[in-house]
Amino acid sequence: GDSVTQMEGPVTLSEEAFLTINCTYTATGYPSLFWYVQYPGEGLQLLLKATKADDKGSNKGFEATYRKETTSFHLEKGSVQVSDSAVYFCALSAVGYSTLTFGKGTMLLVSP
Amino acid sequence: KAGVTQTPRYLIKTRGQQVTLSCSPISGHRSVSWYQQTPGQGLQFLFEYFSETQRNKGNFPGRFSGRQFSNSRSEMNVSTLELGDSALYLCASSLGGTGNYGYTFGSGTRLTVV
């Protein structure tokens, strides 16, 4: 079945450092790919998405590129802020389906 | 535009009881999905409703059920509660169709079973 694998956290960075959170997936065809973020005590917020190969999703300084050849959708940000501290989830939606399959989540902690 | 509203935010129930959680989607959204979030299992899909019909169902026992009303509001019910049902239950709404739209999630209902 479909699956998503994320790097385990926590990822601990200093403010203004470069962020990469790795995400790889297993699915047939060309699924849609998403990054969601969850702040403490809250639900999930859609951060960015990509629906076809080589698409780049971007939002609030975060970027991720849909790489079909490596089945990856790594999340990057050039300069993190303390306010980016949260749990980040990579997810996919299989072709023709609307349900989401999530990775385990990666906690990001940014210190001043 | 109001977001996805889940009520109540917190619940404490006793083993063996049943519970009903409510979700009001974003106006115009016809698809509502439910997810269970636990530290051990992460986010797991429960079921999805579209235009009052269950369109997909995850791998959960029959104690978990749901429904959707004509105004797209949805409820999920868990009967004969077990300690392992303690979790954050998240509702998400979407315009419908495929997942290309992305889902908007509510803040969740935190259920504690004692």
Average pLDDT over chain A reads 94
Query: Is B35 in Cβ contact with A100 (below 8 Å)?
Result: yes
A45-83 pLDDT, tens digit each: 999 999 999 999 999 999 999 999 999 999 999 999 999
Pick A49's closest partner by Cβ from B50, B102, B108.
Answer: B102
Q: Average pLDDT per run of 10 along chain B, which is 114 residues long?
A: 90 98 94 94 93 92 96 96 97 76 89 98
Residue A32, pLDDT > 60, answer: yes
- Distance between CA atoms of B20 and A49, rounded to whole angstroms? 32
Q: Which of A46, A97, A105 is the closest to B98 by Cβ?
A: A97
Taking only the tens place, the pLDDT of each residue in B94-104 is 887 655 667 89
- Give the confidence band of A94 by pLDDT, cuts at 50, 70, 90: confident
B28 C-beta neighbours (distance < 10 Å), count = 10
d(CA A88, CA A45) in angstroms, rounded, equals: 10
The pairing of strands A86-93 and A32-38 is antiparallel
Q: What is the CA radius of gyration of chain B?
A: 13
- In this prediction, residue A1 carries a pLDDT of 85
What's the pLDDT score for residue B100?
Answer: 62
Query: What does the pLDDT read at residue B1?
Result: 62
CA distances to A40, A75, A111, B52, B98 from A11, in Å: 16, 13, 11, 41, 32
CB B97, CB B69: distance < 8 Å: no
Query: The tokens 């951060």 sit on which residue?
Result: A47
pLDDT of residue B57: 93
In tens, the pLDDT along A6-24 reads: 988 899 999 999 999 999 9
Q: Do A98 and B4 touch (CB under 8 A)?
A: no
Q: pLDDT tens digit string along B52-72?
A: 999 889 999 999 999 999 999
